[in-house]
A and B are shown apart, each in its own frame.
Chain A
Amino acid sequence: MSHFEIDEPGKRVLLMGNEAIARGALEAGVDFCSGYPGNPASEILEALARAAKKSDFHVEWSVNEIVALETAGAAASTGLRALTAMKNLGADVCADFLMTVNLSGTRGGFVLVTGDDPSAHSTTSELDTRNYARLADVPLLEPATTQEAKDMTKWAFDLSQELGVICMVRTVTRISHSRGVVTLGPLDRDKRSAEFSSQDLWTSGSSTIECMFHSILHEKLKRAQEKFEESKFNWYVGKENADFIIITSGTGWLYSLEAVKLLGLENEVGILKLGTTWPLPEKLVASHLKHAKEVLFVEETDPFLEQNMKILAAELASEGVGPIRFYGKKSNHVRGEFGAGTGELNVDVVIRALTEIGKAAYLSREKGYSEKAEKLLGSYVPARSMGFCAGCPHRASFWAIKKAAKWDGRDAIVTGDIGCYSLGMLPTGFSVSKTLHCMGAGIGTANGFGNLREFGLDKPVIAIAGDSTFYHACMPALVNARWNGSNILFVVLDNNTTAMTGHQPHPGTGVNALGDSSPRILIEDICEAIGAEVRICDPFDLEKSVQNLYELLQNEGVKVMIFRHECPLAFPKEKKARVYVDQDKCLGEECGCVKFCTRVFGCPGNIWDYEKGKAKIDEVMCNGCGLCAKICPAGAIIVEEVT
């Protein structure tokens, strides 16, 4: 049993932020959980699924985020407690439902957890989902510590249920993925029953009814604000009635505290830490703006607090607030490597802001620190660009796509999508993909590219998507392509798992979130039903793959090529083949291939033996796929099946 599940109230345990959120849901007695995997939120559902194996509540990976929110919303409308977790861009996917279920309300506690990814470590956008709370007029909580991640999640259920509105909890990568000590509360084991009778109406209404619901929503928000004024998640530390205050939320709290301590400004600066950030606890904030002459905002990504506070300060101008000098993103004092409003916060960012404002003189790092550190560590850290894993079938697929497009010779347009194969834009995917947006945008934009013949763009169009992305966001665009006569080749990279987010199941795997067997919905069945020409091939059969792609490119209409080979990390072989280089056969630097195996093919298993000037296999890295042996022009790579 994991720490986050144990039933010992008062016990202090070390939890990952996402586990703490899951624990909060357990303490709130959650009945129904849904989500779609995505960094940094994936482990929330994974933890809940582990717990659900032993208890009696529902956990599912939904096909995408809007279905996740809808399915959980329905559960909440019957009086159950429901949670949906997703990454920041998932909020975009579910926004349509969010913008109506805010109006229709909820009977049970209904919590939406969004995981933002400042610096976009594993995301295509630094989207700040707090804006959705303001847009949807729903309450927003922002945990600053692991303990708060648990406590706020639990409280979000109570708040949602009491107010009758969905409540958002915004976490970020450094909250979700760091570990902290959490004092556990009691688990709620009450069994609720779901009720929905023919007398019930659950709707956002329309016309005047909608306006009425909208007004009711504003009332709910006002009640939330009243509660926030008293919330234990907001506090002020430091010098009483300070002239200079930092207003912060989320990770900014600990960074600010540490920066102030490091600079010795405890007796000069006050810190107002807010955990309830929409709607603002205006009275609490006003009481501190009154004594402030300067305010620094420290928050992840957008100037959310900054802008809302400035509006508030303007409103309070007639009540003796101000004039205040504001520092933050607008003033460019709080900024990342690429400017204000980009990149993750850290202690250094806060220190630099305080130093530039003139509160202290401090160099966080001595001059030339980075160069020195690089020199020191350089020899220990292997230089490696982002790339597919050893034995990844995507490498074979992209080489096949590259070849087929060249064979075709009409300068094909290749649109990429979201997954491990997003790397298809980089040298590891032979720079094959030329576009990358949100999930499903590969085939969506391909619809357009494939329908521009009358405007003079008559090129083959190849859209790429993974299996999980296929179910998540590709089906409507595939139908559209067929319906509206787009001429496209859709390549589905089916590795039988949602690999990038940590090998979660999807509708094609025959397994659900709990690991129980479930109906298998086959990609080829769906594509054939749509009327597409479908072929299936193992990408490691390189010749056949290229030939199939090439032939499909010559055909008109909607064609689907399914490259099917399991992710070797999710499904490790019991006996992997031994691959090695026969260095007598390897022509070394003399070979016309110009080190194809290490320079172009780029598998981490292929390395160069500098002493001998010959190719070599790193047998620890190698997954035994043998693809490099098929490409080596000298036939120097040997695959030895292990029996």
Chain B
Amino acid sequence: MSSIVVKGSRDLQKNVLANGLCSACGACTNLCPYIDMVRGRAVLIEPCGLSEGKCYDFCPRAYVDVPSLDRFVFGSYRRDLALGSNISVMKARAKESEVRSSAQYGGAVSALVTYALETGEIDAAVLAKSQDRISAEPTIARNRKEVFECAGSKYIVCPTVAEVFEATKQVKGKIGVVGTSCQITAVRKMQASNLEVEADKIGLLIGLFCTWAFSPDAYGYIRDLVGPAKVMKIDVPPPPANIFVIQTEAKRIEVPLDKVRKFVMPACNVCFDMTNEFADISVGTVEGKEDWNTVIVRTKEGEKILQGAIDVGVIEPKPLEKDRLNHLCEASLTRKRRVLTETEAEKIAYLTIREEDKFKIVS
């Protein structure tokens, strides 16, 4: 991929796990008997002794070489420093109100995955599922019903990529993945890696906008807040709300964000990728519009599927207002600026970007 040297599990331990940089994406687990995922931490049981390993090569915190990954995914380096390579940005939502009602916002992800499955673009999708809408565990969905069971945002980390490996063993055809930035980055690194033989099974990658996720330690806290009541939805409304909201059958519980920040994964603090820049299609909220999504189309494959979904009336598109787009870009750049400054100060060197871009973003 680049001049970056692929290393083994000892280096993963030293550079990522020991520094608390693991985002629990699952990219290093389910590959060998030596690494387990334990409560939001990848744990090295024993170094395997290999000097080069998939665990290191796929890890989105071991190294991310942005120029190389851009060229691998998009064929060229990015022009948009705020949102990453993209073909178009729009508002979109699932046409069926039934889909939207069970979804977090506009239901675009559920609708797109279902469309891709039903048209045979993919044969299975790896998604995050929740039994109680608090915790999250990865699952392989193969039909509409299974996709809808996964609707709604989960705020506790989920080792989705570990399930992608499982899917490559189980599924004969193409596999779609819905994931956060670190997870989609890991899957892209897996596709780009010389070490992976099953990568050609990976199809559509739908990326979720993401600012941070909770460690599983948050589970007990949330459970205590909620008691036995059934949780309907968990949400962090866009700024300036600054609250964490739990909607149960009976009531709406609001907690100041500062109270739950301690549960945020340290690995999220060094993430520069809010809008999931290596996905085929990225999906997020639209500020102030609860039943719509912001959709960034990044690749030709992504564009084709979205267009197909629009054509058959599964997805309803709308232009994104100029001020909303500007706001999104500004939010993303602000984050990049903070992360680049902080990681440089703390000598965390997983990220490789062009010097001139770094200069443009920071100044």
Chain B residues whose CB sits within 8 angstroms of the CB of A407 once the complex forms: 36, 38, 43
**Bound Cα distance A600, B33 (Å):** 10
B75 within 8 A of A: no
B38→A600 contact, CB < 8 A: no
B41 within 8 A of A: yes
CB distance from B45 to the nearest CB of A (A): 5
B356 within 8 A of A: no
Chain A residues whose CB sits within 8 angstroms of the CB of B36 once the complex forms: 403, 406-407
CB distance from B27 to the nearest CB of A (A): 13
Chain B residues whose CB sits within 8 angstroms of the CB of A592 once the complex forms: 31-32, 48, 50, 53-55
A456 within 8 A of B: no
Interface size on B, residues (CB 8 A): 19
Closest B residue to A407 by beta carbon equals: B38
CB distance from B187 to the nearest CB of A (A): 17
B32→A409 contact, CB < 8 A: no
Chain B residues whose CB sits within 8 angstroms of the CB of A430 once the complex forms: 46
B33→A406 contact, CB < 8 A: no
A631→B33 contact, CB < 8 A: yes
B239 within 8 A of A: no
User: Are A403 and B45 also in contact (CB < 8 A) when A592-B53, A592-B54, A594-B50 are?
Assistant: yes
Chain B residues whose CB sits within 8 angstroms of the CB of A594 once the complex forms: 32, 48-50
A633 within 8 A of B: yes
Chain B residues whose CB sits within 8 angstroms of the CB of A326 once the complex forms: none
Closest A residue to B17 by beta carbon equals: A409
A633→B32 contact, CB < 8 A: yes
CB distance from B362 to the nearest CB of A (A): 35
Report B225-249 CB contacts with A as 1/0, cut-off 8 Å: 0000000000000000000000000
Report A625-636 CB contacts with B as 1/0, cut-off 8 Å: 000000111010
* Contact among B41, B46, B50, B55 for A402, CB-based, below 8 A: B46
**Bound Cα distance A592, B48 (Å):** 8
B192 within 8 A of A: no
Report A240-267 CB contacts with B as 1/0, cut-off 8 Å: 0000000000000000000000000000
B33→A409 contact, CB < 8 A: no
B43→A596 contact, CB < 8 A: no
Closest B residue to A590 by beta carbon equals: B197
Closest A residue to B169 by beta carbon equals: A635
Which B residues from 18 to 56 make CB contacts under 8 A with A?
A: 30-34, 36, 38, 41, 43-46, 48-50, 53-55
CB distance from B61 to the nearest CB of A (A): 17
Chain B residues whose CB sits within 8 angstroms of the CB of A635 once the complex forms: 169
Closest B residue to A431 by beta carbon equals: B46
A479 within 8 A of B: no
Report A593-620 CB contacts with B as 1/0, cut-off 8 Å: 1101000100000000000000000000
**Bound Cα distance A596, B35 (Å):** 13
**Bound Cα distance A402, B43 (Å):** 12
A600→B50 contact, CB < 8 A: no
CB distance from B24 to the nearest CB of A (A): 14
Which A residues from 451 to 472 make CB contacts under 8 A with B?
A: none
**Bound Cα distance A631, B33 (Å):** 6
B48→A406 contact, CB < 8 A: no
Chain A residues whose CB sits within 8 angstroms of the CB of B169 once the complex forms: 635
Chain A residues whose CB sits within 8 angstroms of the CB of B43 once the complex forms: 406-407, 409
Report A392-407 CB contacts with B as 1/0, cut-off 8 Å: 0000000000110011
A593→B32 contact, CB < 8 A: yes
Chain B residues whose CB sits within 8 angstroms of the CB of A631 once the complex forms: 33
**Bound Cα distance A458, B144 (Å):** 51
Chain B residues whose CB sits within 8 angstroms of the CB of A596 once the complex forms: 32-34, 48
Which A residues from 385 to 434 make CB contacts under 8 A with B?
A: 402-403, 406-407, 409, 430
**Bound Cα distance A402, B41 (Å):** 16
Interface residues on A, range: 10 to 19
**Bound Cα distance A249, B45 (Å):** 52
**Bound Cα distance A591, B31 (Å):** 9
Chain A residues whose CB sits within 8 angstroms of the CB of B54 once the complex forms: 592
A633→B31 contact, CB < 8 A: yes
CB distance from B30 to the nearest CB of A (A): 8
Chain A residues whose CB sits within 8 angstroms of the CB of B48 once the complex forms: 592-594, 596
Closest A residue to B47 by beta carbon equals: A594
Chain A residues whose CB sits within 8 angstroms of the CB of B38 once the complex forms: 407, 409, 550
**Bound Cα distance A600, B45 (Å):** 12
B41→A600 contact, CB < 8 A: no
A402→B45 contact, CB < 8 A: yes
Closest B residue to A403 by beta carbon equals: B45
**Bound Cα distance A128, B33 (Å):** 46
CB distance from A428 to the nearest CB of B (A): 14
Chain A residues whose CB sits within 8 angstroms of the CB of B32 once the complex forms: 591-594, 596, 633
**Bound Cα distance A600, B34 (Å):** 10
A600→B53 contact, CB < 8 A: no
Which A residues from 486 to 515 make CB contacts under 8 A with B?
A: none
Chain A residues whose CB sits within 8 angstroms of the CB of B46 once the complex forms: 402, 430, 600
* Contact among B30, B41, B49, B53 for A409, CB-based, below 8 A: B41
A633→B44 contact, CB < 8 A: no
Closest B residue to A600 by beta carbon equals: B46
**Bound Cα distance A403, B45 (Å):** 6
**Bound Cα distance A600, B50 (Å):** 13
Report A74-115 CB contacts with B as 1/0, cut-off 8 Å: 000000000000000000000000000000000000000000
CB distance from B50 to the nearest CB of A (A): 6
**Bound Cα distance A403, B33 (Å):** 10
B33→A593 contact, CB < 8 A: yes
Report A211-247 CB contacts with B as 1/0, cut-off 8 Å: 0000000000000000000000000000000000000
Closest A residue to B38 by beta carbon equals: A407
Chain B residues whose CB sits within 8 angstroms of the CB of A406 once the complex forms: 36, 43-45
Chain A residues whose CB sits within 8 angstroms of the CB of B41 once the complex forms: 409
Chain B residues whose CB sits within 8 angstroms of the CB of A591 once the complex forms: 32
Centre residue among B30, B31, B34 by max chain A CB count within 10 A: B34
**Bound Cα distance A382, B53 (Å):** 32
Closest A residue to B41 by beta carbon equals: A409
**Bound Cα distance A632, B44 (Å):** 17
CB distance from A629 to the nearest CB of B (A): 12
CB distance from B164 to the nearest CB of A (A): 15
Chain A residues whose CB sits within 8 angstroms of the CB of B44 once the complex forms: 406
Chain A residues whose CB sits within 8 angstroms of the CB of B55 once the complex forms: 592
CB distance from A404 to the nearest CB of B (A): 10
Chain A residues whose CB sits within 8 angstroms of the CB of B33 once the complex forms: 593, 596, 600, 631-633
**Bound Cα distance A550, B39 (Å):** 11
CB distance from A559 to the nearest CB of B (A): 19
CB distance from B338 to the nearest CB of A (A): 29
**Bound Cα distance A430, B55 (Å):** 22
Report B49-70 CB contacts with A as 1/0, cut-off 8 Å: 1100111000000000000000
CB distance from B48 to the nearest CB of A (A): 5
Centre residue among A403, A592, A600 by max chain B CB count within 10 A: A592
**Bound Cα distance A403, B169 (Å):** 25
CB distance from A25 to the nearest CB of B (A): 51
Report A565-602 CB contacts with B as 1/0, cut-off 8 Å: 00000000000000000000000000111101000100
**Bound Cα distance A593, B53 (Å):** 10
CB distance from A626 to the nearest CB of B (A): 15
Q: Which 8 A-B pairs have the closest CB atoms?
A: A592-B32, A407-B38, A594-B48, A593-B32, A406-B45, A592-B31, A596-B33, A631-B33
Give the interface of B toward A (CB within 8 A): 30-34, 36, 38, 41, 43-46, 48-50, 53-55, 169
A-B contact pairs, 9 of them (CB 8 A): A402-B45, A593-B48, A594-B50, A596-B32, A596-B33, A596-B48, A632-B33, A633-B33, A635-B169
- Further contacts, 16 of them, CB under 8 A, given A403-B36, A406-B45: A406-B43, A406-B44, A409-B41, A409-B43, A430-B46, A550-B38, A592-B32, A593-B32, A593-B33, A593-B34, A593-B48, A594-B48, A596-B32, A596-B33, A600-B33, A633-B31
